[in-house]
Structure 1
Amino acid sequence: MAIRLIVQDPDPVLRERAAQVTKFNANLHKLLRDMAETMYDAEGVGLAAPQVGISKRVIVVDVGDDHGLIEMVNPEIIEASGEQLGPEGCLSIQKLSGDVRRAQKIKVRGQDRNGATFEMEASDFLARAFQHEVDHLNGVLFTDIAESIYDSANRPPRDGE
């Protein structure tokens, strides 16, 4: 495993629509391991492959709940309901946070590291993390859709903080 460099805005890879993954092999498994290690090292809760310079539809998410580490290849949000407005930051946009409106509940479909399709439902913070990472795969940054943007040092506390 290796900690990879996290690409920073305005790197153009962050604005590309990432390519579908078609090969489920050792290279993909290494990318997933490296992305998880990089996310944990940076104290993040999610990371998309474009954030490590790889324009592929791959994400890892771990919001610290009972789900633990979730790896998803070719994710797509297939259902969304409700609404939440809350603070977000990004490992590729250091020093800024913003209030972003997202769906409260989602259903996401993707593939595991071996290509098997699976679906899962998410709500609240986990739903927010999935939506944020899927946006990365489409070249969208939270700053594009935030209702307000502020210095990270002044961000409002999340629920439970």
Structure 2
Amino acid sequence: MTVLPICITGEPVLHEVAEPVVGFDAELAQLVEDMFATMEAAPGVGLAAPQVGLGKRLFVYDWTDEDGTRTRGVAANPELWVTPPPIGIAEEEDEEGCLSIPGERFALMRSDRAILRAQDELGEHYELEASGWLARILQHEFDHLNGVLYADRLDALGTKGVQKAIKRNKWGVPGNSWLPGVDDLED
């Protein structure tokens, strides 16, 4: 297993629509293993291929809910259906972060329920119904495959805060990344 560098906002691959996964082979299996290792080292609960510099429609996720139920998987070529998000103002409990905007957290309204249809690392099709934080994780990672960062969805106050963080850290341009377990950055 190899821990991969994580691209920081401004890297072009993070802002482009990813291409479908076509080969379910040993190379993809190794990438999935490396993505799980990277996500765990970060630490994170999800990681999309664009975040490690690959414009592929692929993400991994690993979430344990408050009851101790663990949901871990691979989503290649996913489709995602969500309920309408609640109407209102995002609160502190709605804060999320992103490994591509490390150390920053902002409140964002997300749908509470989602249905994911995808392929696993072997190319087998599956469906997953999710609610709560797992639904949020799936929406966040799915957005990455469409060139959207959670910062792109923030309200005016959140947008101002994330823009300050990007400017302060000299992000927003190509060539910035960090290596989990080596660099002193956190999500």
Q: Which has the higher contact order (CA 8 A, sep 6+)?
A: 2
Is 1:19–1:57's contact at 8 Å kept on the other side of the alignment? yes
Give 2:168's aligned residue: none
Q: Structure 2 vs 1, CA of residues 101 and 79 (structure 1 numbering), >3 Å: closer, same or farther?
A: closer
1:22-79 Cα shifts (integer Å, max 9, x gaps): 1100111111100000000001111000000010011111122323321111111134
Give 2:42's aligned residue: 42
How far 1:82 moved relative to its partner? 5.0
- The letter for the 2-side match of 1:91 is L
Give 1:53's aligned residue: 53
Is 1:62–1:70's contact at 8 Å kept on the other side of the alignment? yes
1:108-149 Cα shifts (integer Å, max 9, x gaps): 100011111110100000000000000000000111101242
Is 1:82–1:103's contact at 8 Å kept on the other side of the alignment? yes
- The letter for the 2-side match of 1:46 is G
Percentage identity across paired residues of the two chains: 42
CA distance in 2, matches of 1:120, 1:95: 29
Is 1:81–1:106's contact at 8 Å kept on the other side of the alignment? no
CA distance in 1, matches of 2:42, 2:115: 27
Superposition map of 1:88-127 within 5 A:
88-127=96-135
> Which structure has greater strand proportion?
1
CA distance in 2, matches of 1:102, 1:79: 9
Is 1:45–1:62's contact at 8 Å kept on the other side of the alignment? yes
TM superposition score normalised by structure 1: 0.88
Q: Structure 2 vs 1, CA of residues 58 and 94 (structure 1 numbering), >3 Å: closer, same or farther?
A: same
CA distance in 2, matches of 1:136, 1:87: 17
CA distance in 1, matches of 2:146, 2:55: 10
Give 1:12's aligned residue: 12
Is 1:80–1:107's contact at 8 Å kept on the other side of the alignment? no
Superposition map of 1:142-153 within 5 A:
142-147=150-155, 148-149=157-158, 150=161
- The letter for the 2-side match of 1:69 is R
How far 1:96 moved relative to its partner? 2.2
Give 2:73's aligned residue: 70
Any idea what SS the aligned residue of 1:24 has? coil
Runs of 5+ consecutive residues of structure 1 not aligned to the other structure: 153-161
Give 1:83's aligned residue: 86
Q: Structure 2 vs 1, CA of residues 44 and 126 (structure 1 numbering), >3 Å: closer, same or farther?
A: same
Any idea what SS the aligned residue of 1:30 has? helix
- The farther-off stretch of 97-106 and 61-70 is 61-70
Among 141, 145, 149, the alignment partner of 1:137 is: 145
How far 1:80 moved relative to its partner? 2.6
- The letter for the 2-side match of 1:72 is A
Q: Which has the larger radius of gyration?
A: 2
Any idea what SS the aligned residue of 2:64 has? coil
Any idea what SS the aligned residue of 2:126 has? strand
